[in-house]
Structure formats: structure tokens, C-alpha cells
Copies of this chain bind each other. A is one copy, B any other.
């Protein structure tokens, strides 16, 4: 499914033959957003022929399960995003207009909690960001794409008519969606604490484990996205304007906050598990103490009754008038002595 929107001097239109895109890209004061859901072979050909994207970027965009990343392509050639490229050998084989060929290929992940599966669901969204176009490629129906598209077309939209504002607005929506997830984790951690320190609950350990799994899978998305924004903030390609930096920095700050939350909650969960184990071991200890004392007292009492249950013919006590009472008081005396002894040892 393909949605193509052209904004020319503030006027929006959707009527453009696909083969006219390549011409439109050169027009000044024009911003083009092409959204492709579940790309068909036809869509892929469009990306290759009209936009001239690198085959690898197109392959990544249509294949699932890439990790969040940003690749900077310039002159049809990937710039190594990990460090400045020092060699400036003349690249004579490329003569395409620079405005068209300098673009970022970005992969970010939408994340939302699916109550049905009690699990965090993530879905990749691929962005091609050029000087005056934005191409989004994804499989499912992404709420943020729809929302940003309609917010963009509202009259007097704060998004302006630059690609930078569009990208910021989109990334901001994606990252802001991580916070409800964090809040949910915070709530669960709060619940777990109550559970742990109040009453016993076998589910608690399973919850700690599944929360940890969720946090680890969030971290695998968020950590590389932080790097993505770091690269964009360096502005090595002439795509974002200086004024966009404040907005990208804002998204960056939010991602850093999410990362810190994840690390703090991981720490807290480990502490919670440790505390839980301590409390359990302590509980066990208490019960074993009571067992020791009660069973030893009962055994001592049983020994007395066993003693007077022996069939020796010559046991003078057996003939005492108050034999039962004598035995009972003997039991009581031994019990009292043991209780005092255990109290002295600090076991009661």
C-alpha cells in the first residue's frame, strides 16, 4: 500500500505519477513523503529507479529483523558512520546530483505493550531521509505514521514544510511511546515489592524473570537508537538544518532517559530478587527453629510416657496413687526447662 504526499509551498497534493517522482525531487520548496506499507515488487522498483537508493538499503528496508541503525549514503556510496572518513579521493564515477544522493537510511522500532500476550511487541520502521523527501517503509499499520501524516497536513501545522521537522516529529512520537512501557514496568516493580515484603507468592519470581526479559529486549532496541540519534546530531550530511538540532537533541534526551530507566529497573529487579531470597531463607530459618523446639519438646515428653509404658515388674512409681499426674508434671517440668533453655540461646 502506497501513500504519496507532496507539499509544494505549503500546498498539499496526492496526484503524482510514480515515474514523475525523480523529477519532483529536484524541484525547490518541495517536500515529498512516500509511505509504503508491506512493500510489493512494484514498490521496490520505485525505490530503486525513482529514488536511486542503494540496493543494500532497499534490501534491509524490505527484510525484517534488522536492528536499529543509521547508514549515511552520499554520492551513492555509504559513509562510514563510525568515524569521519578522511580519504577524499575524487569519486569521478558518480555524477548524480548531490541533493538526490545524499540520504540517511534509518531503522527504528515501535514498541507497545500487548495485554493479550502480556508481552512487549516491537516492529521495525525503515526511513529514507533526503534533503526534501522522507520515505517510510514498514509491514504493519503504524499508528505514528498515520498520525504524523495527518498532523503535517493540518493548516498552520507546527511541523513546517521541512524534512527535518517531519523526521523529528515522527521520531519523537516513536520514542514518546516508550514511556508508557516504562511506567508499566515501574508499576509492576512497585507491585512486586509489595508482594515480596508482604506475603508469599510463587508468581513473583516468574514476574521478575519476565519483566527482566522485557527490559532486556527493550534495551536491545533503545541502545542502538541512541547511537542513531548521535549520528544524526553530528549532521555530517547536509540534510538537517542547524535549527533542527534542538529538536533532535530533545529526542536524544528522551532516549537517554529511557535507557537510564531500563538500567535502574534491571538493578532494582536484581535487588528485589536478592531481597526476596533473603526473606525466604529467613522464613525457612524461623520455621526450622520452631520445628526444632516443638519436636524436641514432644520427643522428650514421649520419652517420659514411653518410660512409664515399659513392662518392668519392679517399677515402684507405677504403683503411686497419682501416677498419671506425676507423669504429667514431669512432662510439664521438662517442657518448661527446654523452653527456658531455648529462650536463653535466643532461639525463641
Is there a chain B Cβ closer than 8 Å to A9's Cβ? no
Taking a contact as CB atoms under 8 Å apart, the answer to whether A89 and B242 are in contact is: yes
Q: Within residues 260 to 310 of chain A, which ones have a CB less than 8 A from any CB in chain B?
A: 260, 264, 267-268, 271-285, 287-292, 294-296, 298-303, 305-310
Say whether A260 contacts B303, CB under 8 Å. no
A225 at the interface (CB under 8 A from B): no
Q: Are B77 and A268 within 8 A (Cβ)?
A: no
Evaluate contact between A253 and B317: CB separation under 8 angstroms.
no
- Residues in B with CB closer than 8 Å to A275 are 205-206, 208-209, 273
**Chain A 316-343, CB within 8 Å of chain B: the 1/0 string?**
1111111110111000000000000000
Smallest CB-CB separation from A227: which chain B residue?
Answer: B256
Contacts of A323 in B (CB 8 A): 310, 312-315
For window 226-273 of chain A, which residues contact chain B by CB distance below 8 Å? Answer: 230, 233-235, 242-243, 245-247, 249-250, 253, 256-257, 260, 264, 267-268, 271-273
Contact of A295 among B54, B78, B296 (CB under 8 A): B296
Residue of B nearest to A84 (CB): B86
At the interface, yes or no: A73 with Cβ under 8 Å from chain B?
yes
Q: How far is the CB of A289 from chain B (nearest CB, A)?
A: 6
How many subunits of this chain does the assembly comprise?
Answer: 5
Q: Is A27 an interface residue (CB 8 A)?
A: no
A81 and B245 CA atoms in complex are apart in Å by 10
**Given known contacts A80-B233, A312-B323, is B247 in contact with A56 (CB within 8 Å)?**
yes
- Measured CB to CB, the closest approach of chain B to A146, in angstroms, equals 24
Contact partners of A272 in chain B: CB under 8 A: 209
Instruction: Pick the contact of A273: B87, B274, B318 (CB < 8 A).
Output: B274
**Which B residue sits closest to A78, measured CB to CB?**
B246
Complex alpha-carbon distance, A184 and B274, angstroms: 23
Selecting from A32-40, A115-123, A212-220, the interface stretch reads: A212-220
A112 within 8 A of B: no
Chain B: CB-nearest residue to A202: B282
Q: Which residue of the partner chain, among B78, B230, B296, contacts A249 with CB atoms under 8 Å? A: B78
A196 and chain B: residue at smallest CB distance: B209
Report yes or no: A277 in contact with B278, Cβ–Cβ below 8 A.
yes
* Residue in chain B with minimal CB distance to A346: B199
User: CB-CB < 8 A to A268: which residues of B?
Assistant: 212-213, 216
